[in-house]
A and B are shown apart, each in its own frame.
Chain A
């Protein structure tokens, strides 16, 4: 599904990713962990070309992202992204947030978009919030709308960049619950998170990144219970 080979990314002289190789199979849930500044967000953002890689190869479903002939907008339409800070459109209601891209990018009819929007709101447990603006929603509710907004494009892959780390603790559970449902339905997911419970429950594989490299990877149990790398050990001792 996702193939990343030799991915490098630098901002000027700062080298952030130093050769990432990573394959994600269909229906797989990959959890990415690592210290702050290790390049996790940059890695995710390269997968949908919000950052342009300096070198390397990325392909999604066989379509190479760095091929100049590839229409990057149609690739992005199939890769959903959920941000740490939600990034809902504040001038649009929850329903309008969800419907905007299907209407404008896929050109579906207004009626179809709205019934899609209502069914997604139901899925994330917010049927009653269709006409509410983001600033009247709690953080957890905003993030669930953001997930529904990404799902509205019927993506093949979902990327999550620390989706719960801007939330008050009591709201983390409701967002993780939506993500777990999604994982069980077979969505291919790459999730940057430090929620170990989530990783162990639905993660097929955990990747530990440090200084722009994948330092260790394996099943959740392998990484959390028998870490080999010293930096992973000290990282785990800090967050557990």
Chain B
């Protein structure tokens, strides 16, 4: 127990990194997901197929495998060194920015964004498809193009409906980033492992780790519930 009390700042540091990597990944995942979700619904068959392949690959393979492929497969350390050299040569980069550039962080964000993007694409697709056909027909009958109907009529309604599943995706991703511990990314679980390796006690430390995850997921799911209620009354 004292181990936890003495070292909790380490765990909180890890929790902060967990939050950061999750936020980045889900935010980028939303952009990828919106794009891929719309491709999936597009009229052009090759585009639909492209989106299909992407979505099926990232949903149909384990995230851990995707992390390994990206961490070991892409020359991210080289990019990193190149980018860092460029930055330090031209700018006075504060430390906290260059820490984001750590290769593990980059690999983690890339892997998690791609993975999240595939799930979010399906969330957006379902959201768009849940809007009644009559809405598009009304918009088209007024002379709007199909992209105007999408932008002004379908998407604003679909966005409200995707808030709860997006919240769930965020929570799922928050937990799944613990997989990044295997490539040595110093997120919450990794910090716990390091402490366990140092002090040779596991139970209280992992319990504390679990508790911190729980606090994060619980507060976030309350936030989602709250937003959901707000959106309902705002209709």
Contact = CB atoms under 8 A, between A and B. Distances in A.
A87 B134 contact: yes
A101 B148 CA distance: 10
21 contacts: A48-B141, A50-B140, A73-B145, A74-B143, A76-B143, A77-B142, A80-B142, A85-B134, A87-B134, A90-B235, A91-B156, A91-B235, A100-B142, A101-B139, A101-B143, A104-B152, A133-B235, A135-B235, A146-B138, A149-B142, A150-B141
Contacts of B235: 90-91, 133, 135
B163 to A, nearest CB: 14
Interface string B145-188: 10010001100110010000000000000000000000000000
A104 B135 CA distance: 16
Interface of B: 132, 134-135, 137-145, 148, 152-153, 156-157, 160, 235
B141 A80 contact: yes
Interface in A104-155: 104-105, 133, 135, 146, 149-150, 153
A74 B152 CA distance: 18
Given A77-B142, A80-B141, A105-B143, 4 more contacts: A48-B141, A73-B143, A89-B139, A150-B141
Nearest to B143: A77
B228 to A, nearest CB: 16
The listed residue with most A CB atoms (<10 A of its CB), out of B141, B157, B235, is B141
A46 B116 CA distance: 42
A76 B141 contact: yes
A83 interface: yes
Interface SS majority for chain B: helix
B235 to A, nearest CB: 6
Contacts of A87: 132, 134-135, 137-138
Interface residues of A, number: 27
Interface string A79-98: 11101010111110000000
A224 to B, nearest CB: 30
Contacts of A101: 139, 142-144
Given A83-B137, A100-B152, A91 B144 contact: no
A79 B141 contact: yes
A150 B144 CA distance: 12
Contacts of B139: 89, 101
B148 A90 contact: no
B49 to A, nearest CB: 24
A91 B160 contact: yes
B39 to A, nearest CB: 23
A76 B138 contact: no
B144 A105 contact: yes
Contacts of A150: 141-142
Nearest to B160: A91
> Which 3 A-B pairs have CB atoms at the shortest separation, nearest pair first?
A77-B143, A101-B142, A87-B138
